[in-house]
Every structure is written in structure tokens, then in C-alpha cells.
Amino acid sequence: MEYRKIKPEDDAAIARIIRENLEKLELDIPGTAYFDPFLDHISSFYLEDSERRAYYIFLNDRGEVCGGVGFAEFAPIPGWAELQKLYLSDEMKGKHKSPEMVRLVEEEARKRGYQKIYLETHSNLKAAIQLYEKLGYQRIPKPEAVVHSSMDHFYLKDL
């Protein structure tokens, strides 16, 4: 599976993948990426400050967008990055691509000087929880800085 940094022309495809995933898991609710104000123009958020954030688009064998993952500075806590919006199309699920996607983000966040990587997820996302725990993420209490989130699982990993 190939990957590259997001481009504006990827916005519609990755927004569709994210929304379809959240709908299937009954997480098309406020406090999730479903209602992220940047979702339909996701590239603008990540390209605006490429020193502190990035989003990677993954392509299938036909060159079509089949997933994505990103990170950005977790502003409330200096030195922390936040793993964001890891989603795959249905055709790519079950092919063990998610660990590769997470490792890419970890390495890129490390290169930018982050010491830890944080993420939030939901108990409905059982496969994601298993993945994060298998990759060494440790569950932590909800950080006080998280105020408007429907997520109920919070993880941290040293980079």
C-alpha cells in the first residue's frame, strides 16, 4: 500500500471514508470526527502548519484513496503529539495495514521533536483499541484538557 502526504484533492474521499466508518459504528454523533469542522477540507488543517502536523493518504493498487492517518500537536500539553483520524476503507480492513500507518505517524512525530503520542478512541472501536494496546499504548485517565469529546478511551505512548 502506497502513501503520501494529503493534497486538497483528497479531501472528499477521506471525509467519505471517515464518515462511513463512524456511521457503521454508530459514532456519527457530536464530539467525534464526524462533526469536525475541518473534515470536508481536512488538507487545509494539516498543510497549514506542516512543521507540527501531517496527514498521510494511503492508496490502493488502483491509486485510489483507501485510508489515512495523521498527527498534530496536542496543544494543552507541550511535547505531545496526537494521533488523529486513522481510518481505512472497507476493502483494506483485515489486511493488517493499520500498524504500518500508526508506525509511520509515530516516526514522523518523533522526527518533529515530540516525546509522547496521545490518542483518544471509543469503546465501540474494539479493533482500534486492540491495535493500540498491541502497539504499546498505555491507557490513561481522560486528560483535563479534553472537554468536548465523546471519546471514552485515552492512550499515551513514549516516542
> Do residues 117 and 155 touch, judged by C-beta distance below 8 A?
no
Domain spans of the chain, in order of start:
2-114
∠ CA(48), CA(143), CA(16), 5° rounding?
Answer: 45
The neighbour count for residue 72, using CB atoms within 10 Å, is: 18
What pLDDT is attached to residue 113?
Answer: 96
The topology under which CATH files domain 2-114 is: Aminopeptidase (3.40.630)
Q: Are strands 80-88 and 116-121 parallel, antiparallel or unpaired?
A: parallel
pLDDT tens digits along 57-100: 999 999 999 999 999 999 889 999 999 999 999 898 888 889 99
The DSSP symbol for 16 reads H
Inform me whether the pLDDT recorded for 147 exceeds 80. Answer: no
Q: What is the pTM of this model?
A: 0.92
